[in-house]
Amino acid sequence: MPQKPIAPLLVLIGFMGAGKSTVGRFLAHELGCPLMDLDIDITHTHGGIPDLFEKRGESGFRAIEHHHLGSILPRLPRPSVLALGGGAFMQAANRELLAKHAATVIFLDAPFEVVRARIADTGHQRPLVRDLERLRKLFEQRRPTYLMAEHTFDASESDPAGLLTSLVQLAERLGVVTTARDRL
């Protein structure tokens, strides 16, 4: 008897403001599976990210982020949705962890002006947002690495319904059965 394929771990990546947390919440609900938001989980364990940046610097935060990612990946049930912080996928060691755990990486892509507008109200809570030119450069530096993801979806619309539909269709192709179908 052939083995049933393991349901995927869907990992959402992208720049801050791309919608990883919001879309991740909707997607996990639609698929009837858990959502793990790495930044939120780090905050629960280690305190606020701005404080971590201030006390330990970006490299100290990235070390915590890598360790935390490595500790949660083996424990996540399949299927699950995992939303990474904007810089997590930039670390080669984190990409290796995701590959080791057979994660399906999905880049939520949106133009700089869209993400800038989305984070304008919460910029004070994001350590890397203090300077608009630095933010633009960071966006441009990160985008080629984000494009290494297996799948890229346009996340520029303010209503995530179309994006959610596309992500659910991808999940179904990967072997995830949606909650709605489970009820039939």
Q: Looking at residue 129, what is its pLDDT?
A: 64
Mean pLDDT calculated for residue range 15-38: 95
CB 73 within 8 A of CB 80: no
Q: DSSP letters of 19-53?
A: SHHHHHHHHHHHHT--EEEHHHHHHHHH--HHHHH
pLDDT of residue 132: 84
Alpha carbon 42 to its chain centroid, in Å, reads: 14
Q: Which pLDDT band, with edges at 50, 70 and 90, does 175 fall under?
A: confident
Q: Which of 44-58, 124-138, 151-165 has the lowest mean pLDDT?
A: 124-138
Query: Quick one: the chain helix, strand, coil %, rounded to 5?
Result: 60, 10, 30
Q: Which CATH architecture has domain 9-178?
A: 3-Layer(aba) Sandwich (3.40)
The residue among 175 and 167 whose pLDDT is bigger is 167
Residue type, 173: R
For 36-51, how does the pLDDT look when each residue is reduced to its tens digit (9 = 90+)?
Answer: 999 999 999 998 988 8
Give tens-digit pLDDT for 52-80.
888 998 899 999 999 999 999 999 999 99
What is residue 179's predicted lDDT score, i.e. its pLDDT? 53
- Does pLDDT of 121 surpass 90? no
Q: Is residue 1 exposed (0-12), middle (13-18) or buried (19+ Cβ within 10 Å)?
A: exposed
> Which amino acid is residue 89, in one-letter code?
F
Percent of the chain with pLDDT over 70: 87
Q: How confident is the model at residue 126 (pLDDT cuts 50, 70, 90)?
A: low
What is the pLDDT at residue 180? Answer: 47
Q: What pLDDT is stored for residue 59 in this prediction? A: 93
Q: Where are the domains of the chain?
A: 9-178
Q: What percent of the chain has pLDDT over 90?
A: 71
- Angstrom distance (rounded) from CA 139 to CA 133: 10
